[in-house]
Structure 1
Amino acid sequence: MEAIAYVLLGCALMIVLGYLKRKYFDFDAQTASDYAEGEQIDLRTHLNGPIVCEGVIYGPTGRVTSRFVGDFEAEWNGNTGVMKEHFRYSDGTEQHREWRLTLGNDGRIRALADDVVGDGTGTQMGSAVQLNYKIRLPEDAGGHVLDTTDWMYLAPNGTIVNRSQFRKFGIKVAELVATMRRKDVA
């Protein structure tokens, strides 16, 4: 009986440590205020016009499951923008998405797309943008709805480095790392 108590105590301790790691020392522990200093990102400037995107997607084991390139076209009218994305994946498939973005004067972001369930919300502050949303995968990929957290970081040359994590029931099932840069920037 005493051995079972130690096993249960060990399991409880591991759960608590995992929670603390994720909450305070992991990807999800970041806040927009962590990046308040330095060059200021402005999506209306840094994600405007023709944009090229290159990246990889990691599966749940940490191995690359897909590589892609994308051509984006973003247009802004004041604080409202539309970004059309066309992705080409290493397996030959293609994907199109159109983001409809609204920026608040306080840095808040509202993001809508056809494969996003509800509204995406986020913040641009300092040199970073954080966006949270639920994305519905295509039916041929299971049609699952994943909780998504995007972090976009402005590099000194104007390139944006994007890191996204996708979770189902709180468990990370995929991660994306990509760069986005205006086509007129070498």
Structure 2
Amino acid sequence: MKLGFITLFTSFFIFSFTSTIGAEPIDTHTDKFRLETYFLGKTKAWGIIENRFGKNKFTHFEVDITGSWDGKILTLEEDFLYSSGRTDRRVWKISKTGENTYSGTADDVIGVANGEILGNRFSWKYYMKLPIGKSVIKVKLDDKMWLQKNGVLINNAKIKKFGLKFADLTIFFIK
């Protein structure tokens, strides 16, 4: 009897734990996230790239973003300043393709980024050309953003090469 209870308890615990692995928390108390509304005008962001390989494990950066929406295309002009002093610019052209779906392009994105909003979370995946020293490599990004009640947007992206995690990217946006 005691062994049966322990087995039942252990099975319940394992089932409870594994049923939440991979679950994405969605805040139903936050207004529905809309890229074209959130990024309209000026946005400031701060981030960190945690590199799993190489000498420089962490890279800090700031981003100044200007967004405009013409009713069909959201244009995001992102100006990066890295802790090394290096600067970069990315211009996203993002189209709303459905009620909750978007597609986007940028000069360093390979093909098209496709994403979907569910509640306060936006998820999209895409391939990007990433400069490493004097080389450029193709990486895959699994990019997720969560809008918070206070207007802060939290972004986490897993950067992969050959299916292995290469780096983590975390960004905090504020209006």
**Comparing 83-92 with 63-72, which one deviates more in the overlay?**
63-72
Look up the SS of the partner of 1:106 in the other structure: coil
Q: Any unmatched runs of 5+ in structure 1?
A: 1-20
TM-score normalised by length of structure 2: 0.81
Look up the SS of the partner of 1:44 in the other structure: helix
Correspondence list, 1:120-131, <5 A: 120-131=113-124
Which structure is higher in strand share?
Answer: 2
Tell me whether 1:52 sits opposite 2:44 in the alignment.
yes
Partner of 1:175: 168
Q: How many residues align?
A: 154
Look up the SS of the partner of 1:137 in the other structure: strand
> What is the alpha-carbon distance in structure 2 between the residues aligned to residue 105 and residue 38 of structure 1?
23
Q: Report how far residue 64 of structure 1 moved.
A: 4.5
Identity of aligned residues (%): 25
Tell me whether 1:144 sits opposite 2:150 in the alignment.
no
Tell me the alpha carbon deviations over residues 126-166 of structure 1, each in whole angstroms, 9 at most, x when there is no partner.
10100100010136352110000110000111110000110
Counterpart amino acid of 2:174?
R
Tell me whether 1:111 sits opposite 2:65 in the alignment.
no
Tell me the alpha carbon deviations over residues 26-69 of structure 1, each in whole angstroms, 9 at most, x when there is no partner.
xxx456xx5273321111111110110101110116x8420001
Out of 37, 44, 50, the position equivalent to 2:28 is: 37
TM-score normalised by length of structure 1: 0.76
Which structure is higher in helix share?
Answer: 1
> What is the alpha-carbon distance in structure 2 between the residues aligned to residue 53 and residue 150 of structure 1?
16
1:38–1:126: 8 Å Cα contact kept in structure 2?
no
Look up the SS of the partner of 1:45 in the other structure: helix
1:152–1:162: 8 Å Cα contact kept in structure 2?
yes
**Alpha-carbon RMSD:** 2.0
> Using a 3 Å threshold, how does the CA distance of structure 1 residues 64 and 178 change in structure 2: closer, same or farther?
farther
1:79–1:104: 8 Å Cα contact kept in structure 2?
no
> What is the alpha-carbon distance in structure 1 between the residues aligned to residue 57 and residue 133 of structure 2?
19
> Using a 3 Å threshold, how does the CA distance of structure 1 residues 52 and 118 change in structure 2: closer, same or farther?
same
Structure 1 segments of 4 or more deviating over 4 A?
none
**Comparing 138-147 with 173-182, which one deviates more in the overlay?**
138-147
